[in-house]
Structure 1
Amino acid sequence: MSRIRHLLVPALVAVAGSVLVAPSASAAPAPQCNTTNKQFTYVVLYDPGTPELQVDTELRAKCGEKVAYHPAIGVAVATSRNADFQAKIGAFRAYSGGRDVALSSWTSGSSNSSNLVGAKENEETTDTVVADKLSAQQWDMRAIHAPEANKISGGSPSVTVGVLDSGIDPTHPALKNALDPKASAGCTSGAPDTTPAAWAPTTSDHGTHVAGTIAGKDTEHDFTGIAPGVKLASVKVVNDNGLIFPEAAVCGFMWAANHHFAVTNNSYYIDPGMFYCSKEPGDAAAYEAVRRAVVHSTGQGVLNIAAAGNSGFDVTQQTSDPNRPHAVDASCGILPKAIEGVVTVSAIGYSGTKSPYSNFGPGQIEVTAPGGAYYDTPPAGQGASCPLSTVLNGAYGTKCGTSMASPHAAGVAALLASRFPGAPPQKLTRLLEEQADPVPCDTVTAAQACADPAQNKPYYGHGRVNALDAVQ
């Protein structure tokens, strides 16, 4: 799908073949483990199928405690207070994003805790909208022909879209009928927690906004999302500091796989860095853990859709990580979108051209969708520059970002999954791409000549998603 993705596989196989040796069940526990240091959570790699007893034995012997274990992919989540836990396990087998944040001066003053997910800028609520009739302000829905599609089909209640995000407000009038509490879980600890408090939003309305775009329906206020007939699952992967660590993402993808969601939306990148590199100690374990979880979920019939990111750069040209001081090359990628099989979505504004903040690059984008652009203002009465959707306390607000573009594609994918029950992710991806509307060459935002239509692919992929084509 992309140059980065194709180059990663051999390196990951080599790592797995050289270090993932199942520990002996007779291994003795470490005689002394720290009981006073701050506790951190790690992802730990094993050979897929390693017996849980062997995992437990090694973790105890090396001063760790199991939080969760996924035998199908050989990934454990463990906590430890020992500063040398990663070294005991092996630098290519274990990684803690939380420890990286706590011990690294480069996180001081970062935007992560204030702006949450996506590529962490542009996605705060910009306007709270109060109106009896909101459909006139939903220019983003008209851009992808969602109102016409809704007259034919709103999607099937047998289709569930997992919103891996900051939680969905279960009381919002536009969401309470779509949200399935039994399919929802909090994953911030690395292990699924099905209590409502674990998957409901606390510090952010981001996931609630994403959910409304996919499947919101509020007749009183005349607000409708793309697929109001499907079900939503709140899978909370964002902690209260606005960070998404590898163990939370792994938990989210495995939850989606085990519950047979048709689609997931992933409007985030995995913290604390922006790029994870498959050949670097620590990074390699995180990359491989997430890769296995995503690939497993795809194999279980889940179509994973992700935001391209809001840094405004060509991903393939990056040589350094904006968030962490390390070099970036072809062995590195932004997770989860860099994983094979994930549909990556760029953002366009009201005029239909690439939003300035949207990431791009050859082989990086599958489709594009409305994410808004602050300078690109619709005519009077047609809404704000940023897409309108649900926010906390039963309200409505606008946000701009590729986080807003991604759920437009997820909503259209949900309509396709409703029309073709049981269709594998590969078929849904092909239909999403084939039915997309080509985006005309944009000489304003394009950095290169646009005489060749193929030059648009780094910006728009196969084009703008089309909800009407998905239902007919």
Structure 2
Amino acid sequence: MKRFPLRRTALALALGVGAAVIAPALAVGAPGPTPSPAPVEIAGKKPAVPVPVDTQAGLRAYFVITEPSQVAAGKTAVTSNGGTVYASYDAIGVIVAHSTDADFAAKVRPAQGVQKVGATRTSDVPAAAANPAIPPSPSQTTPTAAETNRSDMTQIGADKAWDINPGSASVTVGILDTGVDDQHYDLKPNFDASKSASCAYGKLDTREGSWRPVGDHGTHVAGTIAAARNGKGMVGVAPGVKISSVRVAEAGNQLFFPENTVCAFVFAGDKGLQVTNNSYYTDPWLFACPTDTDQAAILEGVKRAVAYAEGKNVLNVAAAGNENYNLAKKTTDSTSPNDSTPVNRTITDACQSLPTELPGVVVVSSVNGSNVKSSFSNYGTDKVHVAAPGDNVYSTVLGGQYGSKSGTSMASPHVAGVAALLASVNPGISTADLRAKLAAQANDIACPSGETRCTGSTAKNSFYGEGLVDAKESVEGPASPVSVTSPGDQSGKVGQAASLQIKATDAGGKTLTYAASGLPAGLTINSTSGLISGTPTAAGSSSVTVTVTNADGKTGTAKFGWTVTSDGGGGTVTVTKPSDQWGFVNWAVTPLQISGSSTAGGSLTYTAAGLPTGLSITPAGRISGTPTKAGTYTVTVTGTDAGGAKGTTSFGWRIYGF
């Protein structure tokens, strides 16, 4: 997860054409780098030296929270007390106000219709908010390396899912992040500009290119979700779906302030995105606490925006965070606010990481290649919902390049990709059902032996939630609970009553119904009991399929053959006599096709006696081979119909020697 501070060295390795290596960057106060055989960026590091950002001296940003019906009154309160309305999200009653008056919040709080007021930052608003620049499009390099199966993709079965269903272009995943390089070779085919925008500074900007990157984090996330399956570079979890970029981070500091986050979720809901990925926490507070008036307003504003998106049937997926912290037992935070001077503060479980801990959000922890919790991943009872690979994940970075990163930021997009696959095979599915399917199809991971921090059962625990997501199962569905026992091939006679009981079970004991196709004429199946009965009226061979369905619509099948003969053992069989044949030793004969028919219909099965040595006949009546012995042979061919009736013909075959 971007910017969740890890007190360890962060290294980056970007691999593309030319295999450029990015130099290591140290976290503030971190020890010197330790050599590593596979250096990767731990996504979530703040820059060692923050990029300077020009600000408007004394200008601060605020949330003014009202009932949606009282937005007009709230705006009046803003302008009447020395503020300006920078943006407003009327549908959820959230106004973004700017003011240079240090007492602005205190003045507005008592106003009619106002519920909460709070500063969204502890720093001044960047000067760029008045006229945001369009980020430049990175110069591009076309990859030459062929696609290979990446370990993270095989770990969740994505490589097997691609051949079943790579995802639907009618499903769009919104990447709420630092922006996406929409011109990247592996992202351009799946990028939807019509559902992309910038929400930097808290105001929607839909100008062409506004969504482009101010860092490579969002581009890396995008590749994991839906890099195209085009033969080069790498493949995302759901290479057939669309992706959009909703840039939340601001240029320079790359922070995700509350007003930006609110804008992004409202936009996602309005644009009808099916899934969003959120690999960040809302700055400047690692945890927003309701006892603080500013943070209480932040909590309420972001909560409303997330609920708005969910109400528009958007599933929001978020990273758990990278502090190796128990989210269910919060005690202290020394990293906030991260836009000015952090302070040591005591916190409680009422304080929340946003949007991660909000209702409805699917929270993702990270596992390594051995399905063990990554050393950095946060955890917590009833805090983590599912897990996914987040160690050393290879994906797209700026300018057509590729690189490896680690973090719950890298785990979360795997889950967003699986959710997109589920949405593809279940059009119109609700967010509640989508969450349920993600959980039901996840593969259980037990707590590591001796790990006391991991609590719960194998089926659900504080490290992995419901378990590791399964991309393959998301597109093919789980094994059916309905099992049908094949009765084996059957036989009978015309005019003779038949009876066959089909045996089937349901793992959940649900009621079953029976149906059959291909039954011999005169036979039927009882839909309640599964008994096949009746009296055959015609000779012949049938391929029967019995389908058994439970109350949930799950099915099981059994297939078998059924041969019915007439009283006389079938029809009258005639085998057509071919002309006499000849050939030479050690010379392959011209293949001879025997033909015949039965008055009962159907095809015949052929055998032959007396063939020259070296020749043979297939059941379909084709004689071929290379004679090995001279002589004169009398060949008798027998044709047998499905009812067992036989017919024969004989002819001569002369083989000459040299």
Q: TM-score if structure 1 supplies the norm length?
A: 0.80
Q: Deviations for 1:270-314, whole angstroms, at most 9, x for unmatched residues?
A: 111100012221110000000111111111100000000000011
Residue 59 to residue 175, structure 1, CA distance change in 2 (3 Å): same
**Aligned mates of 1:134, 1:468 — CA distance in 2:** 19
**Aligned mates of 2:440, 2:290 — CA distance in 1:** 32
2:153 pairs with 1:133: no
- Alignment partner, residue 221 of structure 1: 232
Shift of 1:38: 2.8
Q: Deviations for 1:91-121, whole angstroms, at most 9, x for unmatched residues?
A: 97222333x1459xxxxxxxxxxxxxxxxxx
Secondary structure in 1 aligned to 2:462?
helix
**Aligned mates of 2:199, 2:294 — CA distance in 1:** 21
> For residue 64 of structure 2, what is the amino acid of its counterpart?
V
Aligned partners of 2:196 and 2:244 also within 8 Å: yes
2:448 pairs with 1:439: no
Task: Number of aligned residue pairs: give it.
Answer: 394
- Alignment partner, residue 83 of structure 1: 102
Aligned partners of 1:101 and 1:272 also within 8 Å: no
Shift of 1:169: 0.1
**Aligned mates of 2:388, 2:409 — CA distance in 1:** 10
2:403 pairs with 1:390: no
- Alignment partner, residue 88 of structure 2: 69
Residue 369 to residue 44, structure 1, CA distance change in 2 (3 Å): same
Aligned partners of 1:273 and 1:321 also within 8 Å: no
> For residue 338 of structure 1, what is the amino acid of its counterpart?
E
Alignment of 1:389-428 (within 5 A): 389-428=395-434
**Aligned mates of 1:224, 1:308 — CA distance in 2:** 24
Q: Deviations for 1:362-404, whole angstroms, at most 9, x for unmatched residues?
A: 11100000001xxxxxxxxxxxxx0100000100000000000
Residue 339 to residue 450, structure 1, CA distance change in 2 (3 Å): closer
**Aligned mates of 1:85, 1:339 — CA distance in 2:** 28
Residue 89 to residue 209, structure 1, CA distance change in 2 (3 Å): same
2:374 pairs with 1:355: yes
2:68 pairs with 1:41: no
Extract unaligned runs of 5+ from structure 2: 1-55, 126-142, 337-343, 477-658
Q: Deviations for 1:163-200, whole angstroms, at most 9, x for unmatched residues?
A: 00000001101101111111101001211101134210
Detail structure 1 runs of 4+ shifted over 4 Å in the superposition: 448-452
Query: Of 435, 451, 458, which residue of structure 2 is paired with 1:453?
Result: 458
Higher-Rg structure is 2
Q: Deviations for 1:239-284, whole angstroms, at most 9, x for unmatched residues?
A: 1202111100000000011111100000000111100012221110
Aligned partners of 2:454 and 2:463 also within 8 Å: no
> For residue 452 of structure 2, what is the amino acid of its counterpart?
A
Query: Of 236, 240, 258, which residue of structure 2 is paired with 1:246?
Result: 258
Shift of 1:84: 1.5
Shift of 1:222: 4.7
Secondary structure in 2 aligned to 1:453?
coil
Query: Of 200, 208, 212, which residue of structure 1 is paired with 2:219?
Result: 208
**Aligned mates of 2:84, 2:123 — CA distance in 1:** 21
**Aligned mates of 1:172, 1:145 — CA distance in 2:** 25
Alignment of 1:27-426 (within 5 A): 37-52=57-72, 54-90=73-109, 93-98=116-121, 100-101=122-123, 132-136=145-149, 138-202=150-214, 204-217=215-228, 219-240=230-251, 241-324=253-336, 325-372=344-391, 386-426=392-432
Residue 57 to residue 407, structure 1, CA distance change in 2 (3 Å): same
> For residue 388 of structure 2, what is the amino acid of its counterpart?
A
**Aligned mates of 2:448, 2:294 — CA distance in 1:** 41
**Aligned mates of 1:286, 1:459 — CA distance in 2:** 28
Residue 452 to residue 225, structure 1, CA distance change in 2 (3 Å): closer
Aligned partners of 1:443 and 1:449 also within 8 Å: no
- Alignment partner, residue 7 of structure 1: none
Identity of aligned residues (%): 41
More relative contact order, 1 or 2 (CA 8 Å, 6+ apart)? 1
**Aligned mates of 1:218, 1:469 — CA distance in 2:** 20
**Aligned mates of 1:205, 1:143 — CA distance in 2:** 24
Q: Deviations for 1:219-240, whole angstroms, at most 9, x for unmatched residues?
A: 2425210111111110000112
Residue 450 to residue 251, structure 1, CA distance change in 2 (3 Å): closer
Q: Deviations for 1:126-182, whole angstroms, at most 9, x for unmatched residues?
A: xxxx8712424x100000000110001111111111100000001101101111111
**Aligned mates of 1:234, 1:39 — CA distance in 2:** 28
Residue 357 to residue 449, structure 1, CA distance change in 2 (3 Å): closer
Q: Deviations for 1:17-40, whole angstroms, at most 9, x for unmatched residues?
A: xxxxxxxxxxxxxxxxxxx84322
**Aligned mates of 1:49, 1:97 — CA distance in 2:** 23
Secondary structure in 1 aligned to 2:82?
coil
- Alignment partner, residue 140 of structure 2: none
- Alignment partner, residue 15 of structure 1: none
Shift of 1:447: 2.8
CA RMSD of aligned residues (A): 2.1
Residue 390 to residue 451, structure 1, CA distance change in 2 (3 Å): closer
Q: Deviations for 1:331-370, whole angstroms, at most 9, x for unmatched residues?
A: 2111101111000000001111100100001111000000
**Aligned mates of 2:124, 2:335 — CA distance in 1:** 14
Aligned partners of 2:71 and 2:93 also within 8 Å: no
More strand by share: 2
